[in-house]
């Protein structure tokens, strides 16, 4: 694969990459995000990823590469926002629960994010069955009823989801 | 290791069953100690359980809502990210890609593209398909209340049993096993059973109708406050206790049952659907019953002296 290069050379590559494509990347992000602070943050994060990957000077199609990284970050931002929103809505629906402190919220949101990422790539049905059994605490029979499948299908999908989580966790 | 993980998962699925036998438990114990790698694989599963346990109550709903919001925006997002979604316009959803849904205990209000309002009751799935010629709401599961906006295209609700055509209106539709129930609060609708389309029936404000795919039930007066769920309430006038419990259980995850001996006790009242624990406590105060809880998810209402 790629040869290991001295750090300075890599930084030089990144520097060139930054100068040539930073403006373009911001434009790319501006088309996709409403908030200029988000644009600045994600542009920065994209270059940090490139820096950490040490690939700046080995790129054939730098803009394609930057866009790929930035796209992942946009999706992640989107994921975090949607979870935050859904979580706040859930809190608002249960006013009897004392609103957790901002620190606790961050922890809870992180755990939701981790689970959400873990479940990426599962089919809708597998995911629904896993959540019903693992988070809602439904029996196999109830989960089968909710999702509209047989109990043996519930077992099969639960096993598939658990396996997926274990292997993903490994990565 | 993958094969051993698969074994561990298999054991987990068997042990997690509510009908697990002592024999199964014993064989699992034997498996667990037979090989150190078995115990290691099992430990990984337990770690996973720990992570799940850190999620707040109602996390499943939060995760699904978030995913659903993302999916609703997928068209916009796909465009934004420059990923083509082929055939989006002609996309007619499979049962596993519902446009909108609620989980048990959740309700939702939506405004559709034409300005119509749609309330989703607990545990409900709908697909929306509007095109140049018509507005279709496909109710796959659960219950909805529709308040139609003015539009030249006809609006219909499809259920497993047939089609309900709105005639300028506010009405609710509930999908039960093999039966659709329509209740009209304002104006009227026209009901057409799937397998007997010549049997068209007009249902007017203040009436409700149950129908199967091949026949219509009688027109009935609408129950008092039948649509109180949109305000998070259940209003009952002289209901059987078993029916009250069944209705409450639609709004709460897990099992909520009622013993035979008390099923026919009569009850009138108003209950908060978002706090079925309070509703159950209420029952204990007003009727000779007690609420037995095995776990958070397994609750049964029984005679007090049992």
Closest in B13, B59, B103 to A155, CB measured: B13
The predicted pLDDT at position B280 comes to 92
Q: Is A146 in Cβ contact with B123 (below 8 Å)?
A: yes
* DSSP conformation class of B296: T
The predicted pLDDT at position B171 comes to 95
Residue A91 has φ and ψ, to the nearest 5°, of -65, -40
Non-local (6+) Cβ contacts of A63 within 8 A are A21, A24, A25
What's the rounded mean pLDDT across residues B97-124?
83
Closest-approach residue (CA) in chain B for A109: B55
Residue B80 binned pLDDT confidence (cut-offs 50, 70, 90): very low
Does residue B210 contact residue B179 with C-beta atoms inside 8 Å?
A: yes
**Total beta-carbon pairs less than 8 A apart between chain A and chain B:** 138
Q: Report whether pLDDT(B137) > 90.
A: yes
Q: Report whether pLDDT(B303) > 60.
A: yes
* Tokens found for residue B265: 């006790």
The predicted pLDDT at position B269 comes to 84
Three-state DSSP class for B75? helix
Residue B98 binned pLDDT confidence (cut-offs 50, 70, 90): low
**What CATH code would you report for B232-303?**
3.55.50.30
Q: Report whether pLDDT(B122) > 60.
A: yes
Q: Report whether pLDDT(B287) > 60.
A: yes
* Tokens found for residue A52: 């950490």
* Tokens found for residue B172: 């609710």
Q: pTM of this prediction?
A: 0.49
- Between positions 52 and 111 of A, the ones with CB within 8 A of B are 67, 71, 74-75, 78-79, 82-83, 85-87, 89-90, 93-94, 96, 108, 111
* DSSP conformation class of B181: E
Q: List chain B residues with CB under 8 Å of A141.
A: 18
The predicted pLDDT at position B268 comes to 87
> Strands B162-176, B135-147: parallel, antiparallel or unpaired by DSSP?
antiparallel
Q: Is A93 in Cβ contact with B59 (below 8 Å)?
A: no
* Tokens found for residue B301: 């209402």
> Strands B298-303, B255-258: parallel, antiparallel or unpaired by DSSP?
parallel
* DSSP conformation class of B150: P
d(CA B212, CA B230): 25
CATH 2.60.120.1440, domain B92-221, yes or no: yes
The DSSP-derived string for B5-67 is: HHHHHHHHHHHHSTT--HHHHHHHHHHHHH-HHHHHHHHHHHHHHHHHHTSPTTHHHHHHHHH
Q: Is residue B76 within 8 angstroms of chain A, CB to CB?
A: no
The share of chain B scoring above pLDDT 70, in percent, equals: 90
Neighbours of A52 (CB within 10 A): 8
The predicted pLDDT at position B225 comes to 80
d(CA A53, CA A14): 11
* Between A103 and B79, residue with greater pLDDT: A103
Q: Is residue A166 within 8 angstroms of chain B, CB to CB?
A: yes
* Between B68 and A105, residue with greater pLDDT: A105
Per the DSSP assignment, residues forming a β-bridge with B296 are none
Q: List chain A residues with CB under 8 Å of B52.
A: 115, 134-135
Q: Is residue B50 within 8 angstroms of chain A, CB to CB?
A: no
Q: Is residue A125 within 8 angstroms of chain B, CB to CB?
A: yes
Q: Residues for chain A: how many in total?
A: 171
Q: Is B51 in Cβ contact with A111 (below 8 Å)?
A: yes
Q: Is residue B94 within 8 angstroms of chain A, CB to CB?
A: no
Non-local (6+) Cβ contacts of B304 within 8 A are B288, B289, B290
Q: What is the pLDDT of residues B207-253, one digit of tens each?
A: 999 999 999 999 999 887 888 899 888 888 888 999 999 999 999 87
Which residue ranges in chain A fall short of pLDDT 70? 1-11, 55-58, 93-98, 169-171
- Tell me which of A42, A82, A101, A156 to substitute to probe the interface with B (most B C-beta atoms closer than 10 Å): A82
Q: Report whether pLDDT(B86) > 60.
A: no
d(CA B258, CA B253): 15
d(CA A32, CA A71): 9
| Domain limits, chain B | 2-53, 92-221, 232-303
Q: ipTM more than 0.90?
A: no
d(CA B212, CA B72): 32
Closest-approach residue (CA) in chain A for B296: A137
- Among B201, B210, B148, B216, residue whose Cα is nearest residue B173: B210
Q: What is the pLDDT of residues B158-177, one digit of tens each?
A: 999 999 999 978 999 999 98
Identify the structural domains of chain A with CATH numbers, from first to last.
7-82 (no CATH), 119-170 (1.10.10)
Closest-approach residue (CA) in chain B for A74: B81
Q: Report whether pLDDT(B261) > 80.
A: yes
Q: What is the pLDDT of residues A117-157, one digit of tens each?
A: 888 888 888 999 999 999 888 899 989 988 889 999 999 99
- Tell me which of B59, B110, B252, B277 to substitute to probe the interface with A (most A C-beta atoms closer than 10 Å): B59
The predicted pLDDT at position B59 comes to 84
Place of tokens 């036998």: B21
Q: Is B80 in Cβ contact with A31 (below 8 Å)?
A: yes
Q: Is B274 in Cβ contact with A83 (below 8 Å)?
A: no
* Tokens found for residue B245: 């419990």
The reply to whether domains B92-221 and B232-303 share a CATH topology is no
User: Burial of B115 by CB count in 10 Å (0-12 exposed, 13-18 middle, 19+ buried)?
Assistant: exposed
- Among B235, B241, B234, residue whose Cα is nearest residue B290: B241
Does residue B38 contact residue B8 with C-beta atoms inside 8 Å?
A: yes
* Between B77 and B278, residue with greater pLDDT: B278
Q: Is A134 in Cβ contact with B104 (below 8 Å)?
A: no
d(CA B187, CA B213): 24
Q: Is residue B55 within 8 angstroms of chain A, CB to CB?
A: yes
- How far does the CA of residue A5 sit from the closest CA of chain B (Å)? 33
Q: Is A146 in Cβ contact with B104 (below 8 Å)?
A: yes
The predicted pLDDT at position B207 comes to 93
The predicted pLDDT at position B166 comes to 94
Q: Is residue B63 within 8 angstroms of chain A, CB to CB?
A: yes
- Between positions 252 and 291 of B, the ones with CB within 8 A of A are 253-255, 274-275
């Amino acid at each position: 694969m790629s040869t290991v290069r001295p750090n300075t050379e890599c930084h030089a590559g990144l520097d060139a990459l930054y100068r040539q494509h930073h403006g373009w990347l911001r434009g790319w992000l501006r088309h996709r995000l409403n908030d200029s602070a988000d644009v600045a943050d994600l542009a920065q994060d994209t270059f940090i990823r490139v820096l950490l990957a040490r690939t700046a000077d080995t790129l054939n199609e730098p803009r394609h590469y930057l866009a790929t990284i930035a796209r992942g970050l946009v999706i992640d931002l989107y994921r975090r926002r949607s979870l935050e929103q859904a979580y706040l809505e859930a809190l608002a629906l249960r006013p009897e629960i004392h609103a957790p402190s901002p620190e606790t919220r961050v922890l809870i949101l992180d755990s939701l994010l981790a689970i959400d990422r873990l479940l990426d790539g599962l089919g809708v049905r597998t995911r629904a069955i896993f959540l019903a059994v693992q988070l809602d605490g439904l029996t196999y029979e109830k989960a089968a009823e909710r999702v509209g499948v047989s109990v043996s299908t519930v077992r099969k999908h639960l096993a598939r989801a658990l396996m997926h989580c274990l292997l993903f966790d490994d990565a | 290791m993958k094969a051993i993980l698969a074994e561990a998962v298999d054991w987990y699925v068997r042990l997690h069953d509510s009908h697990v036998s002592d024999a199964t438990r014993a064989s699992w114990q034997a498996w667990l100690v037979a090989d150190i790698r078995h115990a290691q694989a099992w430990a990984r599963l337990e770690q996973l359980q720990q992570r799940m346990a850190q999620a707040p109550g109602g996390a499943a709903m939060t995760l699904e809502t978030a995913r659903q919001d993302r999916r609703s925006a997928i068209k916009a997002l796909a465009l934004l990210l420059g990923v083509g979604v082929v055939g989006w316009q002609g996309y007619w959803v499979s049962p596993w890609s519902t446009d909108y849904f609620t989980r048990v205990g959740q309700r939702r209000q939506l405004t559709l593209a034409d300005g119509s309002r749609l309330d989703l009751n607990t545990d409900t799935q709908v697909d929306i398909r509007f095109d140049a010629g018509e507005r279709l709401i496909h109710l796959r599961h659960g219950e909805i209340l529709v308040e139609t906006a003015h539009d030249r295209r006809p609006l219909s609700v499809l259920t497993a049993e047939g089609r309900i055509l709105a005639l300028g209106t506010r009405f609710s539709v509930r999908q039960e096993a093999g039966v659709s129930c329509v209740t009209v609060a304002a104006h009227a609708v026209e009901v057409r059973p799937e397998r007997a389309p010549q049997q068209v029936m007009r249902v007017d404000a203040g009436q409700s109708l149950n129908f199967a795919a091949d026949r219509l039930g009688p027109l009935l007066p609408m129950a008092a406050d039948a649509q109180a769920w949109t305000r998070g309430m259940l209003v009952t006038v002289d209901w059987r206790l078993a029916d009250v419990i069944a209705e409450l259980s639609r709004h709460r995850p897990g099992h909520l049952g009622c013993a035979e001996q008390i099923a026919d006790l009569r009850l009138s009242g108003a209950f908060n659907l978002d706090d079925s624990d309070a509703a159950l406590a209420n029952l204990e105060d007003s009727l000779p019953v007690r609420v037995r809880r095995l776990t958070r998810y397994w609750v049964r209402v029984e005679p007090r002296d049992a």
